[in-house]
Amino acid sequence: MSLIQEALKRQQEELEKKAKQEASSEKTPAETVQPKLRVRPSEADETVSKPAQESLEQREPSPEVPSEPETVSSEKQQQPIWMRIEGLVIGVIGIILLAGLGWAVYHLLIRSRAPEKVTTSVASRVEAGKETQPPVTGKTEIVVSTSTVQHAVSSQAVQTVQTTGKTTETVRVSSESKPSPSTTPTPQTTVVIIPSEQGTTVIPKKIVAWPALKLSGVVGKETYGSAIINSNIVQIGQSIEGVKIVRIVEGGVEVEYQGETKILRVGGSTR
């Protein structure tokens, strides 16, 4: 307000100076002889005050300006509702995008990661086959193959062997090719021994107690993928409670435990 007042004062001073200059310039020698006309002070004040009032009206701020912040504040109070809705929508879309990106990365990692190689599966199967031999009921056939034979095979087909238990065993020797008199052959021979019922040993079958495992789902194919067992994600080649996941088959997985293998179907269990 002080600046406005100073400006008004300056304008009034300038107007007064201009009025004085005009009055001095308008004077003529004839006017000096003629009597001077007195100007009423009220008229001079009105002439001076009218331009000042006009300039004040032009420079004074309009009374409507203070009301603008109120309208702006009311608009700001209404805007956050829409802004919150937009923020929620953007947040939900961002969460969905992040979840999709994480699933894609996880899927690529599962495909790129090769499972551990099973190196001891064949040996364990052979040992399991030896331990779980079926019982001998009366006659067993033992097949023996020899790669080299140092002597010629005799033409006798049946030989009688005396055993210490006073039991006779018949040994049948069959050769794939007859030897020639000039050369010494090395045939593959098969010896079939038919033992008697006495003196036979029965190997008991080993019973393996499997842990309780339930298969809920399978993802992947053959040796690539994973299975959901007991609500846990287990990849091919890994073990859970001592049971190893060998591979994925149709409708389930092949598992191995203590040398014994089994097919575990989806929705089924080991017990």
Walk along the chain (271 residues) and give the pLDDT tens digit of each residue: 677 888 888 888 888 888 888 877 765 544 444 445 454 545 445 544 555 555 555 555 554 544 554 554 555 555 567 777 888 899 999 999 999 999 988 888 887 765 554 444 444 554 554 544 545 454 444 444 444 444 444 444 434 444 444 444 444 444 444 444 444 445 555 555 555 555 556 566 667 788 888 888 888 888 888 888 888 888 888 888 888 888 888 888 888 888 888 888 888 887 7
pLDDT, position 157: 40
How many domains, in total, are found in the chain? 3
Task: Give a yes or no: residue 216 inside a domain.
Answer: yes
Quote the CA–CA distance of 195 and 202 in Å, as a whole number: 13
Does 68 reside within a domain? no
What is the SS3 assignment for 161? Answer: strand
Quote the domain boundaries for residue 9: 1-22+41-60
Coil, helix or strand for 17? helix
In this structure, the answer to whether residues 8 and 52 fall within a common structural domain is: yes
Q: Return the structure tokens found at 32.
A: 């000096």
Q: Does one domain contain both 214 and 240? A: yes
Q: Which of 256, 263, 262 is nearest to 123 (CA)?
A: 256
Alpha-carbon distance of 270 to 268, in angstroms, equals: 7
Residue 54 lies inside a defined structural domain of this protein: yes
Q: Could you tell me if 190 and 224 lie in one domain?
A: no
Whether 48 is in a domain gets the answer yes
Q: Tell me whether residue 155 is in a domain.
A: yes
Say if residue 226 is in the same domain as residue 190: no
Is position 111 within any domain?
no
Chain Cα centroid distance, residue 42: 93
Cβ(246)–Cβ(238) below 8 Å: no
Largest distance between two CA atoms of the chain: 185
Same-domain status, 190 and 245: no
Q: Residues 213, 164: one domain?
A: no
Residue 88 included in any domain:
no
Last residue of a domain, one of 12, 31, 60: 60
Cα–Cα distance between 34 and 194 in angstroms, integer? Answer: 173
Tokens 């995008």 correspond to 97
pLDDT, residue 131, reads 47
- Strand 239-240 relative to strand 232-235, pairing: unpaired
For residue 52, what pLDDT is reported?
53
144 located within any domain: yes
Q: Give the pLDDT of residue 140.
A: 46
- In terms of domains, do 2 and 56 share one? yes
Supply 145's token pair: 């193959």
Residues 231 and 252 in one domain: yes
